[in-house]
Copies of this chain bind each other. A is one copy, B any other.
Amino acid sequence: MSQKSNSNSVGLVEPKDFLFRSKQGFVLESGEILPELNVRYETYGDFKGGLAPVVWICCPLTTDAHAAGLHVEGDPKSLGWWDALIGPGKPVNTDKFFVVCSNILGGCKGTTGPSSIDPRTGKPYASKFPRITIGDMVNAQKKLAEHLEIKKLFAVIGGSMGGFQAITWALEYPDFVERCAIIASGTRLSAQALGFEIVGRKIILDDEKFNGGEYTEQSKPSNGLANARKMAHITYLSAESMQSRFDSAENMPKDPEKFYTGFTLENYLNHQGEKFVNRFDANSYLHLTWAMDNFNLEEKYGSLENAVSLAKAEFLCVHLSSDWLFTPEESYKLTFALLNKKKIVSSVELNTNLGHDGFLLEVKDLGALLSRFLDIRSPETLDKDYTRQAFSSKKDIKRISAFIPEKASILDIGCGDGSLLHALWKQKKATGVGLDRSFNGVLHCMDFNVPVIQEDLDKKGLSKIADDSFDFVIFNRTLQETQNPRDVLLEILRIGKQAIVTFPNFANWMVRKSLAFNGNMPMNRFLPYEWYNTPNIHLFSLKDFIALCEKEGILIKTLKFVNSSILSKILTLLGFKNLGAEQIVAIICRRDPV
């Protein structure tokens, strides 16, 4: 139905309806039954007779199926809510993918919900609409997928409550979902977010015009719905963005009679409330938030581990740095549950001060991630297309590859662009995941199709990774950059059976010369920084390293030396290793493996 315009828009689109009818009706997870189910949806791109891979978009709480394109030619106000991400040549590329987005069960945008007509009575369900779950929403979407004769989803993508649907897709229909991107979401709501939801519903229920759910268009609980929305809207923004936006804004005159502050902020919130009342139904709001609040993977599947064990998809978890509604912690919780169950998962932070709303607005970075996550090029093409200077040199790779057996599992800490993991995968069929603190590092890893978790080791640590998760942990040239190198060493030997650690030797003759003869902090090719801006904050020598390993019950299985100067090579050959070695590669393991 989509018409291509000249630009990279899917152009004018029209929603479609699919009416599902069967003898037993549409059965909800509660056992209750909807006699029939209408699903309103839009599609973008060409299905190519069933050959195009399908990308399925799951709606957050209050958007509708109109994710991309225009409803009214030339009217930018009619643009879809994720139009920046979906279209020809866009991150969710409609030249390659057939994209489907449907409105949520229980909503008020065409898919069956409380304001729909109950065919048994000829009147709106209103207060009679049964309680629904996120699972019900996904089951309704599955009916639509079957109707469209979709055999498999190449990817499911969902933000916020859409993320709850996306993970549910991957758990309930594991063979149907190949990739699953969960954005600004998690495994359940936090207690704080739940608290606001509970109060929000009560505000609506207490509006006299709510009338137990049996209200009319002429007399509906607009005040309650508007106030609930205003409160919720604050939780979608960050404190920082609110401060910068409203602190400098020009205020209107106060009206103390009405307790009206005149602050731009008050007008803004009122406007948000009014807009919402005009486009949303109070009963739907109650049902959707109810479904969201009762979503709890741990409860449904016994434990988070049980839950994620079911999945077969590859995952991308994206969180937003300033999101306090769906916090980074919740996203990490899902990430590490998946990782610990040996699922393929990448986890990324969008650096933004926009709060939760950032998942609708930070389209540039989010697009960069999604375009890579949806990349369907072959490994060979990936290699050829990667033209940047690789993070790991061929020498580096060769040196480490020598220790790695076939099909080993690997965690590469400080993995940079993932070139090492990519090479180990090609050479040894090794599987693994990288850890890096930079967003660009993550993007480059994804260019190589290497799973990666964006994390600052000094901030988050490795404590959420299960014991013995990896055959090898590679810690290449960053041990001296960590705040607690001893703790890190013990941690990597907890989560890895062995570790490959490389570090500069601070007792190399060049360092000794610099200090002993010149009296200043060394700068050379393996310590290339000024003392005041070096990331190397815990320098140590080979001898120091050996002493620490002995003290902590760490067995050094192998030591290799990387020397570029001839003197270094000679000294090392003569046995003066602590004097000669420039850089050291150590293979270590626990002395008494558990």
Instruction: Give me the interface of A with B, judged by CB distance under 8 Å.
Output: 131, 190-192, 194-196, 198-199, 201-203, 205-208, 223-224, 227, 230-231, 234, 237, 239, 242-243, 245-247, 254, 256, 258-259, 261, 263, 265-266, 269, 286, 290, 293-294, 324, 327, 484-486, 506-507, 511-512, 515-516, 518-521, 530-534, 537-544, 547-548, 578-579
In the complex, chain B residues whose CB is within 8 Å of the CB of A518: 543
User: From residue A524, how far is it (CB to closest CB) to chain B in Å?
Assistant: 15
Q: Give the nearest-CB partner of A131 in chain B.
A: B256
User: From residue A102, how far is it (CB to closest CB) to chain B in Å?
Assistant: 24
- Interface SS of chain A: helix, strand, loop or mixed? helix
In the complex, chain B residues whose CB is within 8 Å of the CB of A543: 518-520
Q: A195-B242, A205-B259 in contact; A519/B532 too (CB < 8 A)?
A: no
Q: Give the nearest-CB partner of A203 in chain B.
A: B227
Question: Given the complex of chains A and B, what is the CA–CA distance between A265 and B532 in angstroms?
Answer: 50
In the complex, chain B residues whose CB is within 8 Å of the CB of A512: 515-516, 519
Flag if B531 contacts A539 (CB, 8 Å): yes
Flag if A531 contacts B544 (CB, 8 Å): yes
Flag if B540 contacts A194 (CB, 8 Å): no
Q: Give the nearest-CB partner of A229 in chain B.
A: B199
16 additional contacts, CB 8 Å, given A191-B247, A259-B290, A507-B520?
A191-B242, A194-B265, A198-B261, A199-B234, A202-B223, A202-B230, A203-B227, A205-B258, A239-B327, A261-B294, A512-B519, A515-B515, A518-B543, A519-B541, A520-B540, A537-B537
Partner among B266, B520, B578 whose Cβ is within 8 Å of the Cβ of A519: B578
Flag if B538 contacts A534 (CB, 8 Å): yes
Q: A199-B234, A507-B519 in contact; A224/B206 too (CB < 8 A)?
A: yes
7 CB-based A-B contacts, threshold 8 Å: A190-B239, A198-B269, A205-B258, A518-B543, A520-B547, A531-B540, A537-B538
Which residue, of A205, A230, A242, A532, has the highest number of chain B Cβ atoms within 10 A? A532
Flag if B515 contacts A265 (CB, 8 Å): no
Question: Given the complex of chains A and B, what is the CA–CA distance between A538 and B536 in angstroms?
Answer: 8
Flag if B265 contacts A195 (CB, 8 Å): yes
Question: Given the complex of chains A and B, what is the CA–CA distance between A196 and B269 in angstroms?
Answer: 10
In the complex, chain B residues whose CB is within 8 Å of the CB of A532: 484-486, 538, 540, 548
Flag if A259 contacts B516 (CB, 8 Å): no
Question: Given the complex of chains A and B, what is the CA–CA distance between A379 and B260 in angstroms?
Answer: 52
Question: Given the complex of chains A and B, what is the CA–CA distance between A324 and B322 in angstroms?
Answer: 13
Flag if B206 contacts A207 (CB, 8 Å): yes
Partner among B205, B242, B521, B541 whose Cβ is within 8 Å of the Cβ of A540: B521
Q: A486-B532, A533-B484, A533-B486 in contact; A195/B539 too (CB < 8 A)?
A: no
Closest 10 pairs between A and B when the two form their complex, measured CB to CB: A537-B537, A507-B519, A191-B242, A516-B516, A206-B223, A486-B532, A519-B578, A192-B239, A131-B256, A512-B516
Question: Given the complex of chains A and B, what is the CA–CA distance between A35 and B192 in angstroms?
Answer: 45
Flag if A191 contacts B507 (CB, 8 Å): no
Which residue, of A194, A246, A324, has the highest number of chain B Cβ atoms within 10 A? A194
Question: Given the complex of chains A and B, what is the CA–CA distance between A253 and B207 in angstroms?
Answer: 25
In the complex, chain B residues whose CB is within 8 Å of the CB of A516: 512, 515-516
Question: Given the complex of chains A and B, what is the CA–CA distance between A327 and B198 in angstroms?
Answer: 25
Question: Given the complex of chains A and B, what is the CA–CA distance between A175 and B521 in angstroms?
Answer: 56
Q: A484-B532, A520-B543 in contact; A191/B243 too (CB < 8 A)?
A: yes
In the complex, chain B residues whose CB is within 8 Å of the CB of A294: 254, 261
Flag if B190 contacts A243 (CB, 8 Å): yes
Q: A231-B199, A532-B485 in contact; A191/B520 too (CB < 8 A)?
A: no
In the complex, chain B residues whose CB is within 8 Å of the CB of A484: 532-533
Flag if B293 contacts A261 (CB, 8 Å): yes
Q: Give the nearest-CB partner of A287 in chain B.
A: B259
Which residue, of A265, A324, A578, has the highest number of chain B Cβ atoms within 10 A? A265
In the complex, chain B residues whose CB is within 8 Å of the CB of A520: 507, 540-541, 543-544, 547
Question: Given the complex of chains A and B, what is the CA–CA distance between A86 and B585 in angstroms?
Answer: 63
User: From residue A388, how far is it (CB to closest CB) to chain B in Å?
Assistant: 29
Partner among B246, B256, B539 whose Cβ is within 8 Å of the Cβ of A521: B539
